[in-house]
Amino acid sequence: MATDSLFNSAKPTVFFGLLLKSIDQAKIDHLATKSYSEHIALQKYYDEAQPIIDEIVEVYQGWKAIRINLEIPQSDYMNPMHLMKDVCDNINKYRQSLKDCLPIQGLLDTLEGLVYRVMYLLSLS
């Protein structure tokens, strides 16, 4: 399967790869910015999203009683606000495919709340 089509599919494992990419992306942007408020906002996402995303993947594996192999897309610098909007878009796109796993829904709500808080912090720069 070609990489482009892989990351356009609706598989939960693709979603998890995109979420993990967002952590790498936030760190790249965090280190590249010249704005102190962006630096702090992106550090907040990097520090707080990682355990939430880890828990999402672990809950999914427990719920399905499987181990999954994840592919993480390559990360390059991205406008931080666009990054946060992409994370929200992906949460909304993939939420339906995980609707039967209620614990993941709560974790997705927590992650989405963090993203909106980071978006607010980014707007202060």
- Report yes or no on 2 lying in a domain: no
- Report yes or no on 3 lying in a domain: no
| CA-CA-CA-CA dihedral for 49, 51, 57, 60, to nearest 10 | -110
Q: How far is CA 75 from CA 17, 46, 72, 83, 116, in A?
A: 11, 14, 9, 11, 21
Q: Do residues 20 and 26 make contact, with C-beta atoms less than 8 angstroms apart?
A: no
- Report yes or no on 42 lying in a domain: yes
pLDDT for residue 6:
41
- Report yes or no on 1 lying in a domain: no
Domain region containing 107:
10-123
- Report yes or no on 73 lying in a domain: yes
Q: What whole-number percentage of the chain has pLDDT above 70?
A: 91
- Report yes or no on 4 lying in a domain: no
Structurally, the chain folds into a number of domains equal to: 1
- Report yes or no on 44 lying in a domain: yes
Global confidence as pTM = 0.89
- Report yes or no on 95 lying in a domain: yes
Average pLDDT of the segment spanning 118-122: 97
pLDDT for residue 125:
65
- pLDDT 10s digits, 47-94: 999 999 999 999 999 999 999 999 999 988 899 999 999 999 999 999
